[in-house]
């Protein structure tokens, strides 16, 4: 048999999630979404596949190269399988929910598919949960969106949580003032992304000093803000530093024990963000727990040609990474129920959180019943009107 | 918060670079346990005089991978390795200035005399660095077919495996001895102090502390 004939083999980056992990995963997703719902974020559910332009325009451009495409035989148009859900929610906000009053709060959960996994996340299909706060550019919105993400992550027990804040437009704005060939521009951007101070000093021209000091400014929020306020950044986008300060302060007041770091030059993955961006980390976990930031939702071309777009901020959490860091939950106790037991009493047991597994056949004797109960993964057996621990 | 004495791993390369690195480590206040210096020693992880710091001694090519996956939070890696793997999870905040050499394209002397690199559209190249080679040639509009070798690149042209190689040179004497001539330089190489991205974000004070110590050690050298 060649490996192609083995039905168990799945394409690279795709996997079956089995018990008990599948139930655990579903529970985590609902708990996260529940926190957002409790803050007034209404759930939306976009389709898995839609026309390519909708998925890859605006912020969707970032995942365009990772989007699976297929030809729709019906409309003869190219469709894409979503590689990220933010673009879909933005589309909904701009079109079908365009007439709802702002700020608009939406949340979502679903699977996404990507052509390539990354080194750290080889999975090509994974689950996202997220929330978007649309129609306001205020610092209060930046603070709220980060705060509810933190609240939801703490509620499911993510240990050592920290949030890293960045100003994605800062480095591009600084570099726009330099006279660089396209090749040198990308080389310098790469060096900044890698925090390669040596290379930046070599090719950073008149900004070498400014950029190096910005890189040295990464770290704990108070240290970073000190460094940043000591820097003269004439070419920095106006207001972004003040906004960062306001967000750090606001978060500090709202969630006093939160670890906040600042990395003013962090830019990877934030190519389409227009204001404060953030990444969630858990100490000891190599991957990101989630990320998000401020962006602009472009108006639907057909309706408003001259529109400026709508400010929005939001985040996406990565369920696979979250599952790696949170402690495994205890499974509910499982009781084996022999044939002929009192249905109402057993139903009451389920209401109390028990899992009941019904026998389909009569057992010969108590010993047989216990063996069968074990085979069904039960710790208890229903005996004399109550669950009894199996010896 | 997890206690500050959480373990920290430093990944260092075996071999040539290590000789240059040891004085810097000593200057930075890191003294490995005696077994570390024993070339016959089979174990890979060593304790040091700093209670929460252990040292991984691995192949230089693997260091970027160990740091990218967060197995080691900090490491010493050549720019060649960083360029080849191009991990977004690895920061290279400090050039240690050791292990200096250059990465070049070279070809046999006879070929070199009649060849015009402008005319290339396709080249076959023996190299340990297929990614860098492909990227380098693609940027100048040439398709590179790479034959991956792990050593002895210099002999490939004379054996007829291919006509060109991409490799590191320090003095150029190996090229010379094998009848090869340098065509162009791809990059200047030195070793960098590298840091895992998530570690930098979640343990900023500790990591910055080590970057500063190595920077002082480098400047003192």
In B, which residues are within 8 Å of A164 by CB distance? 201
Query: Any idea what the CATH number is for the domain that residue B117 is in?
Result: 3.40.190.10
pLDDT score for A235: 60
Q: How far apart are CA A313 and CA A317, in angstroms?
A: 14
Portion 161-200 of A in contact with B at CB < 8 A: 162, 164, 183, 193-199
Number of domains in chain B: 2
pLDDT score for A236: 62
Contact (CB<8Å) A285/B198: yes
By Cβ distance, the residue of B92, B139, B196 closest to A194 is: B92
Asked if residue B93 and residue B13 are part of one domain, the reply reads yes
Best B194, B204, B205, B210 residue to mutate vs chain A (most A CBs within 10 Å): B204
User: What's the pLDDT tens digit per position in B110-145?
Assistant: 888 888 888 999 999 999 999 999 999 999 899 999
In B, which residues are within 8 Å of A284 by CB distance? 2, 6, 202
Asked if residue B132 and residue B54 are part of one domain, the reply reads no
In A, which residues are within 8 Å of B89 by CB distance? 119-120, 286
CA-nearest residue of chain B to A200? B93
Contacts of B122 (CB under 8 A, 6+ apart): B142, B143, B144, B145
Is residue B3 included in any domain, yes or no?
no
Is residue B82 included in any domain, yes or no?
yes
In A, which residues are within 8 Å of B139 by CB distance? 183
pLDDT score for B15: 86
By Cβ distance, the residue of A259, A279, A286 closest to B196 is: A286
- Domains, chain A, in order of start with CATH, read 10-163+270-331 (3.30.930.10), 169-257 (no CATH), 334-389 (no CATH)
Asked if residue B164 and residue B201 are part of one domain, the reply reads no
In A, which residues are within 8 Å of B98 by CB distance? none
Percent of chain B beyond pLDDT 90? 81
Query: How many interface pairs between A and B have CB atoms less than 8 angstroms apart?
Result: 76
Q: How far apart are CA B158 and CA B163, in angstroms?
A: 8
pLDDT score for A306: 54
Asked if residue B68 and residue B35 are part of one domain, the reply reads yes
Cβ proximity of B32 and B21 under 8 Å: no
Contact (CB<8Å) B202/A198: no
CA distance A315 to chain B (A): 18
Token representation of residue A29: 């997703």
Contact (CB<8Å) A219/B204: yes
Contacts of A380 (CB under 8 A, 6+ apart): A333, A334, A335, A336, A373, A387, A388, A389, A390
Contact (CB<8Å) B205/A279: no
- Average pLDDT of chain B is 92
Contacts of A106 (CB under 8 A, 6+ apart): A41, A42, A43, A44, A89, A92, A93, A97, A131, A132, A134
B4 touches chain A (CB under 8 A): no
CA distance B179 to chain A (A): 33
CA-nearest residue of chain B to A187? B83
Q: How far apart are CA A50 and CA A388, in angstroms?
A: 53
Is residue B208 included in any domain, yes or no?
yes
CA-nearest residue of chain B to A159? B1
Domain range enclosing B211: 8-99+190-220
| Cross-strand pairs, A176 | none
A309 touches chain B (CB under 8 A): no
Judged against a pLDDT cut of 50, whether residue B1 lies above it is answered with no
Radius of gyration of chain B (CA): 20
**Over chain A (391 residues), what is each successive 10-residue block's mean pLDDT?**
78 93 94 98 97 87 93 96 95 94 97 92 94 97 98 95 93 84 87 88 82 86 86 70 93 94 88 92 91 90 63 96 89 92 93 94 88 93 92 80
Asked if residue B142 and residue B205 are part of one domain, the reply reads no
């Amino acid at each position: 048999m060649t490996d192609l004939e083995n039905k168990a083999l799945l394409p690279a980056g795709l996997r079956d999630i089995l018990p008990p992990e599948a139930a655990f995963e579903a529970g985590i997703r609902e708990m996260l979404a529940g926190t957002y719902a409790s803050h007034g974020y209404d759930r939306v559910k976009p389709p898995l596949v839609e026309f390519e332009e909708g998925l890859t325009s605006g912020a969707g451009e970032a995942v365009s190269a990772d989007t699976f495409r297929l030809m729709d035989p019906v409309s003869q148009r190219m469709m894409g399988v979503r590689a990220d859900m933010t673009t879909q929610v933005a589309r909904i906000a701009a079109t079908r929910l365009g007439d709802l009053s702002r700020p608009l709060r939406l949340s979502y959960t679903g699977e996404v598919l990507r052509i390539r996994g990354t080194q750290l996340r080889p999975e090509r299909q994974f689950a996202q949960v997220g929330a978007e706060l649309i129609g306001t550019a205020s610092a209060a919105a930046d603070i709220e969106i980060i705060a509810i993400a933190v609240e939801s992550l703490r509620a499911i027990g993510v240990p050592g949580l920290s949030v890293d804040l960045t100003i994605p437009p800062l480095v591009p704005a600084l570099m726009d003032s330099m006279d660089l060939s396209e090749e040198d521009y990308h080389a310098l951007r790469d060096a900044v992304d890698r925090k390669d101070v040596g290379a930046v000093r070599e090719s950073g021209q008149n900004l070498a000093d400014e950029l190096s000091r910005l890189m040295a400014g990464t770290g704990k929020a108070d240290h970073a803000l000190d460094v940043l306020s000591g820097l003269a950044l004439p070419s920095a986008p106006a207001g972004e530093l003040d906004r960062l300060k306001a967000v750090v302060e606001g978060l500090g007041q709202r969630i006093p024990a939160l670890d906040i770091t600042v990395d003013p030059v962090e830019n990877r993955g934030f190519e389409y963000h227009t204001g404060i961006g953030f990444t969630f980390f858990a100490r000891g976990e190599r991957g990101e727990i989630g990320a998000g930031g401020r962006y602009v939702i472009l108006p639907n071309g057909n309706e408003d040609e001259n529109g400026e777009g709508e400010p929005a901020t939001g985040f996406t959490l990565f369920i696979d990474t979250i599952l790696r860091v949170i402690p495994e939950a205890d499974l509910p106790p499982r009781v084996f129920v022999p044939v002929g037991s009192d249905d109402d009493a057993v139903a009451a047991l389920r209401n109390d959180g028990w899992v009941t597994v019904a026998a389909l056949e009569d057992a010969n004797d108590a010993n047989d019943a216990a063996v069968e109960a074990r085979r069904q993964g039960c710790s208890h057996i229903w005996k004399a009107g109550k669950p009894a621990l199996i010896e | 918060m997890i206690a500050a004495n959480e373990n920290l791993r430093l990944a260092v390369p075996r071999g040539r670079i290590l000789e240059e690195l040891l004085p810097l480590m000593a200057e930075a206040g890191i003294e490995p346990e005696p077994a570390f210096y024993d070339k016959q020693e089979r174990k890979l992880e060593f304790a040091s005089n700093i209670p929460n710091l252990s040292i991984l001694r691995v192949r230089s090519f693997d260091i970027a991978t160990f740091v990218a996956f967060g197995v080691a939070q900090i490491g010493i890696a050549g720019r060649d390795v960083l360029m080849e793997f191009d991990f977004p999870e690895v920061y290279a905040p400090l050039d240690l200035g050791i292990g200096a050499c250059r990465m070049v394209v070279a070809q046999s002397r006879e070929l070199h005399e009649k060849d015009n690199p402008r005319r290339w559209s396709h080249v076959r190249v023996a190299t340990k660095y297929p990614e860098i080679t492909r990227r380098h040639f693609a940027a100048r509009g040439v398709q590179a077919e790479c034959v991956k070798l792990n050593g002895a690149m210099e002999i490939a042209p004379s054996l007829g495996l291919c006509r060109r190689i991409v490799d590191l040179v320090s003095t150029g004497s190996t090229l010379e001895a094998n009848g090869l001539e340098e065509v162009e330089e791809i990059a200047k190489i030195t070793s960098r102090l590298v840091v895992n991205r998530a570690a930098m974000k979640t343990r900023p004070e500790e990591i910055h502390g080590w970057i500063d110590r190595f920077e002082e050690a480098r400047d003192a050298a």
